Structure 1
């Protein structure tokens, strides 16, 4: 397993100087300045600023949804997608961050799906805000993955997702850092069902040399063992990357087609 460490984006001191009115209410300490990342609004503001200052994109996040770590998503997309490829982003979320990164930074043509009405509308606003509506095709998925959602004549160079990963019987608590059942519960006893369906339905839609890239929290060991096994069963070449961004760790699994 390869390990990649990524800079978080910008020092809090630099952000504080430029955006004092936004970040001051969420400072955990002043010397040195440190944001309270247990506060969801602070996390949203921080990632909004990083997206703007480092990646040159504008993002907004509905309070109910998950707040993606923007720099982690940036590294994930760069690992899974090559310049000017055709990309399918499954479950793009309220920010559409991976779709936007692929379209803006890699000049990809992206099909992005989302099932939750509120998140779909938020993703649409973000895509329009970044003037990427001609490069990103947003599709309402209605709970399906690929079959019944994506036209049968479309194949892709890369299929990417930050899939849900919790087992079916999980009871979501208010202590969970945001996110709906659709964002968090992947199904089955291990939470791997959504991801397995991406692989089963995705492999026939890959162009030669195409990839399926998935990103998870690092602690989901049972899931990634099942996913790696399924990718190998589908004759994909598997690469595993441990991605460290600040205090956050993610696991990226990329299965490539010969």
Structure 2
């Protein structure tokens, strides 16, 4: 397939990218492509497809070209204002559902929700849970709200604000959560990967956080205990090479029963702790 070869220098998955872009150009799914593989494209369809291929060849993420990304089997809208949901973030959903499998009356806070991926996945699995999702980007919250509406998920309250700022007024003093989850920025500011691949097109504020990448994580860990019930859980995604630092941050912030989890590639990916 010529389109696959065209994307080989840009993409780690050129065939998949080409198929997704062709399906999007035709307003079909990939199953349709397989079923009707011998169908010839019209001239307008070819031009439409070639425009998308050119954008991808220049490095633009497939999710930005199609305007969507699948996460936890949910089709989510994304934009240049949101981080593109990654498969490894699904581990947060798995661990929360495992540890709270029998719980029905749970209050969850998703910090820095972006497209709403974590909050929406939990809401789809636990419609009885009360979920709050915050983000400092009004544009990102608009996307998250739109995703919730399209998925008919009504148990999420979206709030504009940076980390815990929305809960620092007197009326929020009694609002405590059973779970606080976050996929915060954790890449060092000067990391060369920030100028490579898909991340070049994503919001820097959702990616980088200080010299060692841990500024936001430190802030979240230090402040979260004031917003967690006794015995409640804080769970955070982080870089594969930050396991030791995360354990120390959680320990020095006073959390107990600290647990760390690896993703499907066996890389350290999550750290959780219990608030006393």
Structure 2 length-normalised TM = 0.68
Which residue matches 1:98? 118
Name the CA distance, whole Å, in 2 between partners of 1:121 and 1:148.
Answer: 17
Name the CA distance, whole Å, in 2 between partners of 1:213 and 1:17.
Answer: 36
Trace 1:101-180 onto structure 2 (pairs within 5 A). 101-107=121-127, 108-133=129-154, 135-141=155-161, 144-149=162-167, 151-168=172-189, 172-173=194-195, 175=197, 177=199, 178-180=201-203
Q: Does the 8 Å contact 1:167/1:190 carry over to 2?
A: yes
What is the CA deviation profile of residues 48-80 of structure 1, one whole-angstrom value per residue up to 9, with x for unaligned ones? Answer: 3x44xx63x3311114532112x4333312313
Name the CA distance, whole Å, in 2 between partners of 1:237 and 1:43.
Answer: 39
Name the CA distance, whole Å, in 2 between partners of 1:198 and 1:159.
Answer: 10
State the 1:254 CA deviation: 1.0
Name the CA distance, whole Å, in 2 between partners of 1:112 and 1:158.
Answer: 12
Q: Does the 8 Å contact 2:238/2:270 carry over to 1?
A: yes
Q: Does the 8 Å contact 1:80/1:211 carry over to 2?
A: no
Trace 1:32-47 onto structure 2 (pairs within 5 A). 40-41=61-62
Structure 1 length-normalised TM = 0.72
Is 1:257 matched up with 2:275? yes
What is the CA deviation profile of residues 197-247 of structure 1, one whole-angstrom value per residue up to 9, with x for unaligned ones? Answer: 1111101221122111111232x33xx3222112112132111111116xx
State the 1:131 CA deviation: 1.8
Trace 1:84-95 onto structure 2 (pairs within 5 A). 84=104, 85-93=106-114, 95=115
Is 1:60 matched up with 2:77? yes
Name the CA distance, whole Å, in 2 between partners of 1:168 and 1:152.
Answer: 34
Structure 2 gap ranges (5+):
1-15, 20-28, 35-40, 42-48, 51-56
State the 1:39 CA deviation: 5.8
Q: Which has the larger radius of gyration?
A: 2
Is 1:182 matched up with 2:205? yes
Name the CA distance, whole Å, in 1 between partners of 2:159 and 2:152.
Answer: 17
Q: Does the 8 Å contact 1:147/1:201 carry over to 2?
A: no
Q: Does the 8 Å contact 1:160/1:213 carry over to 2?
A: yes
Name the CA distance, whole Å, in 1 between partners of 2:88 and 2:256.
Answer: 24
Is 1:202 matched up with 2:250? no
Which residue matches 1:77? 93
Name the CA distance, whole Å, in 2 between partners of 1:46 and 1:147.
Answer: 30
State the 1:42 CA deviation: 5.6
State the 1:128 CA deviation: 1.4
Taking only aligned residues, the RMSD between alpha carbons, in angstroms, comes to: 3.4
Give the secondary-structure state (helix, strand or coil) at the position aligned to 1:68.
coil
Which residue matches 2:4? none
Q: Does the 8 Å contact 1:215/1:250 carry over to 2?
A: no
Choose between structure 1 and 2: higher helix proportion.
Answer: 2
Name the CA distance, whole Å, in 1 between partners of 2:166 and 2:185.
Answer: 20
